[in-house]
């Protein structure tokens, strides 16, 4: 009986710990798959829409990323944007930024980042500005 109780207790603790991990919020899309864009909270996810991030690569292997984010509410929002570039799954430029973006009500702004080293992938992270 003690073994069964302890197993149930361990299972319950494991489930509680699994629920403590903050998962990222992905943007509402205008329209595309958001594997390259994350938001730090659901308010930003719900109050914005974002276009497909357009990466380009120059001859030296540097990546240039451009995207547009649109406010979907009748209020201004100030965001900090960070970008991490990777190459073959390894981080080459970690958390560049912040670039502070002010979105007027129902307006669109352009966000651009450039890698400082050759890269092949990127992740943009949007969070409320402090």
What CATH number corresponds to the domain at position 61? Answer: 2.60.40.3230
Select the more confidently predicted residue: 25 or 70: 70
Q: Identify the pLDDT of residue 86.
A: 94
Select the more confidently predicted residue: 86 or 27: 86
Q: Identify the pLDDT of residue 19.
A: 55
What's the average model confidence in pLDDT over 90-101? 95
Q: Identify the pLDDT of residue 53.
A: 87
> Does this model's pTM top 0.85?
no
Q: Is 40 a domain residue?
A: yes
Residue 32's pLDDT band (boundaries 50, 70, 90)? Answer: very low
Q: Is 119 a domain residue?
A: yes
Domain range for 112: 24-128
Phi, psi angle pair for 58, to nearest 5°: -90, 175
Q: If you average pLDDT over each of 4-8, 25-29, 52-56, 71-75, which comes out highest?
A: 71-75
Q: Is 5 a domain residue?
A: no
Q: Is 10 a domain residue?
A: no
Write the pLDDT tens digit of every residue in 49-66: 999 888 999 999 999 999
Question: What is the average pLDDT value for the chain, to the nearest integer?
Answer: 84
Q: Is 97 a domain residue?
A: yes
Total of domains in the chain: 1
- For a pLDDT cut of 70, what percent of the chain falls above it? 75
Q: Is 14 a domain residue?
A: no
Q: Is 7 a domain residue?
A: no
């Amino acid at each position: 009986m003690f073994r069964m109780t302890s197993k149930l207790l361990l299972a319950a603790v494991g489930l509680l710990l699994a629920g403590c991990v903050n998962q990222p919020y992905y943007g509402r899309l205008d329209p595309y798959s958001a594997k390259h864009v994350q938001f730090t909270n659901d308010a930003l996810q719900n109050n914005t829409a974002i276009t497909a991030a357009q990466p380009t690569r120059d001859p030296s292997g540097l990546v240039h990323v451009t995207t547009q984010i649109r406010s979907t509410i009748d209020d201004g929002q100030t965001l900090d944007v960070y970008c991490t570039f990777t190459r073959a799954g390894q981080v080459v430029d970690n958390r560049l930024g912040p670039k502070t973006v002010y979105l007027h009500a129902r307006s669109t702004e352009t966000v651009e980042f450039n890698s400082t080293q050759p890269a092949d992938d990127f992740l943009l992270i949007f969070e409320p500005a402090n």
